Amino acid sequence: MARVVVEVMPKPEILDPQGKAISGGLSRLGFTGFGEVRQGKRFELEVDGDITDDVLAQAREAAEKLLSNPVIENVVSVHALEDA
């Protein structure tokens, strides 16, 4: 079954306390070399049929309307899942 992936991240100017907590956790576990961490969302939408430009446009609209909060989040990617 074909799938579309939608990726949503908090806007850079928005505080991300969960990301901060993860960043602290990484240091405590001995993972050095990483700085700031941001946590966002990844959606997989099953598509009935083939992934056409129209399907991708619909997914992009759904991403803006339902899958993200445009006040605090950016849709960073809408793409077909290659290995579906």
**Shortest Cβ distance from residue 76 to a copy of itself (Å)?**
8
Q: Is position 43 an interface residue for a copy of itself (rule: CB under 8 A)?
A: yes
| 64 is an interface residue for a copy of itself by CB under 8 A | no
> Which residue reads 């939608």 in tokens?
6
Is residue 55 involved in binding a copy of itself (CB under 8 A)?
yes
Q: Calculate the alpha carbon distances from 46 to 2, 60, 83 in Å.
A: 6, 14, 13
Closest CB to a copy of itself among residues 17, 33: 33
The contact pattern for a copy of itself, residues 22-41, with x = CB under 8 A and - = no contact, is: x--xx--x-x-xxxxxxxxx
Residue 75 tokens, joined: 């849709």
Interaction between residue 20 and a copy of itself (CB under 8 A): no
17 binds a copy of itself (CB under 8 A): no
d(CA 72, CA 41): 13
The answer to whether the Cα torsion of 32, 34, 36, 41 is positive or negative is negative
